Amino acid sequence: MLTQAAIDAFTALTGTAPEGVWVGPGRINLIGEHTDYNDGYVLPFALPQAAYVAASARADGRWRFRSVDLDDTVELGQAELVPGSPGWHSYLAGVVWALQQAGHEVGGADLVLTSDVPLGAGLSSSAAIECATLAALVDLYGLTIDPVDRAKLARVAENAYVGAPTGLLDQAASTLCTADHALFLDCRTLETRQVPLAVTDAGLEILVIDTRTRHSHVDGEYAARRASCEKAAAILGVPALRDVTDLDAALAQLPALEARRVRHIVTEDQRVLDAMDALAADDYAELGRLMTASHASMRDDYEITERSVDLAVETALGAGALGARMTGGGFGGCVLALVHADRVEATAEAVRAAFAEAGLGEPVTFLGRPSAGARRLV
């Protein structure tokens, strides 16, 4: 169990037991991709897979970070907390820096990390680390920070310290989600709503297909999509693409590339709202249709899918899934398929066979079960 692994590694590092163990879950986005940094709507849920941080405060104002999985330890002093510093530890150090920049009194700490959130799979492994670290430091130093502000601080760590231009979706999901629910988040107003996601009651499952095609948010493609959206908003004279109310009129004013990007964002926002209605009505056929339409939009207009995720979606649909879509930033990662419970293994096997025939590596599949957000375990 990862909780015990974190405790054992901490004890081996420091000679004493940690003051506690905190967890930050990975997340799956049910629908609403790349809408977050356009002030739009998202509908994620937290996963059982999570980052675990065993931690204790230190009195010497230094930070020691250890990764169990990488078998690596990094120690920093205050002068070494520098934005843009490379390495796995920047996701933890960035949280310390973000808290300090916000005026919170945070002293030194030993923090030992282990995680079972797959890296680069679109499941927000980085946000899981940040939110677990933040939960640990808040408790260790007796800070009072409400959940939405915690998510904002974790995003500052990723944006300003690590250098990845992500929106708030990942950190909000890892912080705010509750078990058996999806989280509706209005990324402008920060209104949240817990939305029951009782697919098992309907005889369904959310099958997660990890294509094992890895991606990274710290690259030019993600930043290029965000820049295209900002350029389009400037041309249209709106604060963000969420404010586009007449899509056809907007498209007529834009160059071809920006028009495609805008069409995805505006229609994706509407699909999130429609998905809320579908869930309220227990209309899973409609939810599945919206998921599939979302994937087509990401493929054709936002151009962020690639061969393996397209194949996984097509194969799952061919095996009888009600809907399927890529989730995450794009260019690889995971696919969600809404399937009948008695078709889970057949669907997974169909995808494995399709990947083998295409000469792709074997995908990993598991069930996406909505779980609780960042919290203290021990």
116/363 Cα distance (integer angstroms): 16
Nearest to 308 by CA among 361, 345, 348: 361
Both tokens assigned to 331: 């260019």
**Residue 248, Cβ neighbours under 10 Å: how many?**
7
Both tokens assigned to 332: 């690889």
Indicate the SS3 state at residue 252.
helix
Check if 180 is active-site.
Answer: no
- DSSP conformation class of 253: T
**What angle, 0 to 180 degrees and rounded to 10, lies between the N-to-C axes of helices 147-156 and 90-101?**
120
Strand pairing category for 108-115 and 63-67: parallel
The residue assigned the tokens 């029951």 is: 196
* Residue 92 near residue 133, CB atoms below 8 Å: yes
CA distances from 101 to 58, 83, 97, 106, 168 (A): 20, 11, 6, 10, 18
CA distances from 30 to 27, 70, 180, 272, 372 (A): 9, 30, 13, 9, 16
Nearest to 109 by CA among 92, 123, 88: 92
- DSSP conformation class of 371: B
Catalytic residue among 36, 170, 269, 274: 170
120/87 Cα distance (integer angstroms): 15
364/50 Cα distance (integer angstroms): 17
The catalytic site residues sit at: 170
